[in-house]
């Protein structure tokens, strides 16, 4: 054939492919979510997340040292508190000596260079398992935002680097920014879950923290999977309100959203490869139906290609420990 263009020329060898690769994943891209539970010496594998553990704080500190030694520079903390501490006001979320606040203090002391981010939402502290305060069966926006703001300031008092509101209430980024600034925490950043969808892929996470909603679902605050443009509205609002990083969640089923948010965003954009995505890869690999390492690498790379500057993933350590 008389072809002028032969794109295959650039695929001829591994060296050449590496030379012309448009994207690459590195450990610098990762945010590692961690599940912290009460007690000492506790390390429990999460049944729906094979190879992933929840740990007591002492073990978490040791684990974060390992992460740092492997080049993983950022952790995102979630806590599991005793059911007796849960109510409909989020009181335990504000406890200056609560598990989250203790965790932030312990980690910033033991591994000060590791960037610590905390989840801001009420679900782990809510007797209803909802991200906000419930009144007459509804999740009320403005009173929730008030508590979330106090919660963020409380984490800042403990020394957090970034707060990560995952609740999807309206106006919470602006309120939290004002709250942090008012308390003198000008340098505490906000990673906003800007486009967080009401997704079935959070199932294993809710197992891990025992945080499934007690009634109904989260569709009155998390986004409708049918909507793409609405994500741009949410991201634009968050950026205007002071978000330092915006995030799209889940990951793979929403790559289109990620790429559109990247187009309009003036701040770094993160993707969250959520618990159900991790579980699917692990489960299929355990059956021998996909190669685990290859599936991990390909999915992580897809986030970079779609425009992610950062990736929250449960595969961070696996990636770092893999020979590549
Ligand atoms: C809670 C929260 C959830 C996740 C992160 N923060 C669950 C939910 O909204 O029900 C999910 C993370 C994952 O599945 O990996 N606000």
User: Is there a catalytic annotation at residue 282?
Assistant: no
Evaluate if pTM is beyond 0.85: yes
53 Cβ contact partners less than 8 Å away, ≥ 6 residues apart = 35, 43, 44, 45, 46
What per-residue confidence (pLDDT) applies to 224? 98
- In the chain, what percentage of residues exceed pLDDT 70? 99
In 3D space, the residue among 160, 83, 93, 97 whose CA is nearest the CA of residue 128 turns out to be 83
Q: Judge if the upstream peptide bond of residue 29 is cis by omega within 30 degrees of 0.
A: no
Q: Work out the average pLDDT over 260-275.
A: 98
Continuous segment of H or E residues that includes residue 271? strand 269-272
- Tell me the best of 31, 54, 121, 223 to mutate to test the pocket of ligand 1, counting ligand atoms within 8 Å of each CB and taking the most: 121
Q: Is 227 helix (H, G, I), strand (E, B) or coil?
A: coil
- Which atom of ligand 1 sits closest to the CA of residue 276? 14
pLDDT band, very low/low/confident/very high, at 324 (cuts 50, 70, 90) = low
Hey, whose CA ends up nearest to atom 7 of ligand 1?
202
- Which atom of ligand 1 sits closest to the CA of residue 205? 14
- Give the pLDDT confidence of 157-179 residue by residue, as tens digits: 999 999 999 999 999 999 999 99
Provide residues with CB under 6 Å of ligand 1: 119, 121, 123, 131, 166-167, 202, 205-206, 218, 274-275
- The rounded Å distance from CA 285 to ligand 1 centre is 24
User: Is there a catalytic annotation at residue 108?
Assistant: no
Q: Work out the average pLDDT over 182-207.
A: 97
Hey, whose CA ends up nearest to atom 8 of ligand 1?
202
Q: Which of 54, 218, 249, 282 is catalytic?
A: 249
What per-residue confidence (pLDDT) applies to 112? 98
Residues 86, 276, 148, 164, CA torsion sign: positive
- Give the pLDDT confidence of 28-67 residue by residue, as tens digits: 999 999 999 999 999 999 999 999 999 999 999 999 999 9
- Give the pLDDT confidence of 280-315 residue by residue, as tens digits: 999 999 999 999 999 999 999 999 999 999 999 999
Q: Is the pLDDT of residue 323 over 90?
A: no
């Amino acid at each position: 054939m008389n072809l002028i263009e032969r794109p295959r020329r650039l695929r001829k060898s591994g060296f050449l492919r590496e030379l012309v690769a448009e994207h690459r994943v590195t450990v610098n891209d990762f945010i590692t979510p961690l599940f912290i539970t009460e007690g000492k010496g506790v390390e429990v594998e999460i049944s729906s997340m094979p190879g992933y553990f929840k740990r007591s704080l002492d073990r978490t500190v040791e684990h974060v040292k390992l992460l740092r030694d492997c080049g993983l520079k950022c952790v995102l903390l979630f806590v599991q508190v005793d059911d007796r501490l849960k109510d409909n006001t989020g009181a335990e979320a504000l406890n200056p000596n609560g598990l989250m606040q203790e965790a932030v203090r312990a980690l910033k002391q033991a591994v000060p260079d590791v960037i610590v981010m905390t989840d801001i939402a009420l679900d782990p502290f809510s007797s209803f398992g909802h991200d906000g305060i419930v009144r007459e069966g509804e999740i009320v926006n403005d009173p929730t935002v008030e508590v979330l703001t106090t919660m963020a300031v409380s984490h800042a008092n403990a020394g957090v680097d970034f707060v990560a509101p995952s609740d999807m209430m309206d106006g919470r980024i602006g309120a939290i920014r004002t709250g942090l600034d008012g308390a003198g925490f000008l340098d505490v950043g906000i990673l906003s879950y800007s486009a967080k969808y009401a997704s079935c892929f959070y199932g294993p996470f809710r197992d891990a923290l025992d945080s499934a909603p007690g009634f109904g679902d989260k569709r009155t605050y998390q986004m409708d999977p049918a909507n793409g443009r609405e994500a741009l509205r949410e991201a634009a609002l968050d950026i205007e309100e002071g978000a330092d990083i915006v995030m799209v969640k889940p990951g793979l089923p929403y790559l289109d959203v990620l790429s559109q948010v990247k187009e309009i965003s003036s701040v770094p954009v993160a993707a969250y490869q959520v618990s159900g995505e991790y579980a699917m890869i692990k489960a299929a690999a355990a059956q021998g139906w996909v190669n685990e390492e290859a599936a991990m690498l390909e999915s992580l790379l897809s986030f970079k290609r779609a425009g992610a500057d950062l990736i929250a993933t449960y595969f961070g350590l696996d990636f770092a420990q893999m020979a590549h």
